[in-house]
Structure 1
Amino acid sequence: MEDFNSIIISQNSKKVNIKENPNNYEIIGNGAQGAVLKISPDRCVKLYKNSTHANMEENVLRVASESRFFPKLYESGENFIVMEYFSGPSLGKFLKTEELSEHIANELLLFLKEIEELGFKRIDCMLRHVFIDAQGNLKVIDHVNAFTKSRPFPKKLFQGLDNLGELDKFINYVKNIDEEMYLIWKNSKTLSRYFT
């Protein structure tokens, strides 16, 4: 186990920030629960201000350890987890220059079905938490609240795709790939406004 205690983090009302980074690890992200640093070509560490959040995300990664959509978990401690690092743009950045393909739509649909099968309460993802590799495969991060926050429909995913003008295309792909899911979403109060 590497000692991450020398890295000092702080938290304001919105984000966990790195105050001291004596190892000069590359900071690759920070959010409400933790800050993430790249510690090797294939690994990163997420540091949490609240150890409960570390335990929650570790639990999710253990439950989803067989899923190709989740980063591999290598190590954990009271306030950190070491997991797989993968390069590639977030789906939000990718879709600013590329169009949504049927392959990516199918990947999103498979991910949403898989997390429902895993027993997640939050059946959703934000575009900035979805990464796409060179082969068009997806990895999804930031799962702290997967078992605690209830969101049975992909509201944030729909909002993100709508903001980029890609939602209608996604909905049409879903209709062709999985008409049953299309009808469930169309008939839900949460998502019905996105269907014409």
Structure 2
Amino acid sequence: MDKKSGYKNLAEKFNIDLRECKFLGEGHNGIVYLLPDGKIIKIFKKIKNCESEYSILEAVRGSKYFPKVYGSMGNYIIRDYVGGECLKDYIKRNGLDKKVAKNLINLIEEFKKLNFKKLDIRCKDIYVQKDKSLMVIDPKYSFTREKSFPKHLSKGLSKLGVLGDFLEVVRIEKPQVYEEWTGKLIESGIL
């Protein structure tokens, strides 16, 4: 199926001409376009996934780690565009420096402050900005799935060969968190 045609009728219904938009990507949940005004439209395959992501972005409004959301209708949301480079690609090009590692720790701490049940995220859903700050593009199950440590993040960092570097920064910056996480990483077979 042509990436644009499957979503064309919906976009026209809401006065958005996808021919004037830049296709950014397609994932399991839907498709994303850059709008002419610099925001993005994310069109979901399932309304419940749209509603879930919208409610998460509304709940975290004001957090520096998440894009601002402007509205939702049916199976789409309009939110700020997140530039930068995917964490996975960033690490492949640059390795994991101390500032990015500290920002990853701070991101997980922010999840705690936001009362997330899921203190985890995949590398592909984190974007590193020019100043090495981080933005989350695809929050999923933050308030509904239990995960008390960054298991998927750690797996991703391990595959990239930098989990040890990350944990060393955690050990120095947050010794109690280091003990907790390493214990859980050993239990889950990642370490």
TM-score scaled by length of structure 2 = 0.86
Give the SS at the match of 2:141: coil
More helix by share: 2
Among candidates 107, 114, 119, match of residue 110 of structure 2 = 114
Q: How many residues are treated as equivalent by the alignment?
A: 180
- Alpha-carbon distance between aligned partners in 2 of 1:162 and 1:189, rounded to the nearest angstrom: 11
What is the CA distance between 1:138 and its match in structure 2? 0.4
1:41–1:85 CA contact under 8 A, matched in 2? no
Q: Deviations over 1:97-141 (max 9, x none)?
A: 102111111111111111122121221111111101111110011
2:49 corresponds in structure 1 to 53
Among candidates 166, 178, 181, match of residue 177 of structure 2 = 181
Q: Deviations over 1:73-119 (max 9, x none)?
A: 11211111111102211010011110211111111111111112212
Among candidates 23, 27, 30, match of residue 31 of structure 1 = 27
2:100 corresponds in structure 1 to 104
- Alpha-carbon distance between aligned partners in 2 of 1:178 and 1:189, rounded to the nearest angstrom: 16
**Alpha carbon RMSD of aligned pairs, Å?**
2.1
2:91 corresponds in structure 1 to 95
Identity of aligned residues (%): 27
2:151–2:185 CA contact under 8 A, matched in 1? no
- Which structure 1 residue ranges, 5 or more long, are not aligned? 1-5, 11-20
1:155–1:191 CA contact under 8 A, matched in 2? no
- Farther-moved stretch of structure 1 (34-43 vs 167-176): 34-43
Equivalence map 1:112-151=2 (5 Å): 112-151=108-147
Evaluate the alpha carbon distance shift between residue 81 and residue 183 of structure 1 in structure 2; reply closer, same or farther with a 3 A threshold.
same
What is the letter of the counterpart of residue 63 of structure 2? S
Give the SS at the match of 2:149: coil
What is the CA distance between 1:165 and its match in structure 2? 0.6
What is the letter of the counterpart of residue 140 of structure 2? V
TM-score scaled by length of structure 1 = 0.84
